[in-house]
Amino acid sequence: MGQSLAAIVANLIGGLIFFRVDQFIFTSRSLAAQWEVKENISCVDCGKVARGYRLVRSGDYDKSNDAAPGFRCEECSKKKTETLRGKGIKVE
């Protein structure tokens, strides 16, 4: 009896730890940059039709309500990322 009680308590503690870890992961994910990826877009910078990326949200930078979102090809999105990083916006 004592042993199974110990097992139950151990399970509860283990569950609590995992719960906290999950919450932490969830929290840090919601703070991380959100990217949208779309196939066959024409890049707003160079006009190339390719897989496009756009930064939707990152901290104070929020384009989630953008009516006409601009996608960039991988190359241009890297350049844009550098620009944003230079402005102090977290992009990763």
Residue whose CB is less far from Zn ion, 55 or 73? 73
> In this structure, what DSSP letter does residue 18 have?
H
Nearest to 44 by CA among 35, 54, 34: 54
In the complex, minimum distance from the CB of residue 42 to Zn ion, in angstroms, rounded to a whole number: 9
In the complex, minimum distance from the CB of residue 81 to Zn ion, in angstroms, rounded to a whole number: 12
Residue whose CB is less far from Zn ion, 22 or 75? 75
Residue whose CB is less far from Zn ion, 36 or 45? 45
In the complex, minimum distance from the CB of residue 11 to Zn ion, in angstroms, rounded to a whole number: 53
Residues in contact with Zn ion by CB under 5 A are 43, 45-46, 48, 73, 76
Q: Which segments within 1-92 are labelled E, that is strand?
A: 34-42, 49-58, 61-62
Per DSSP, the three-state class of 42 is strand
Instruction: For residue 32, give both structure tokens.
Output: 């991380």
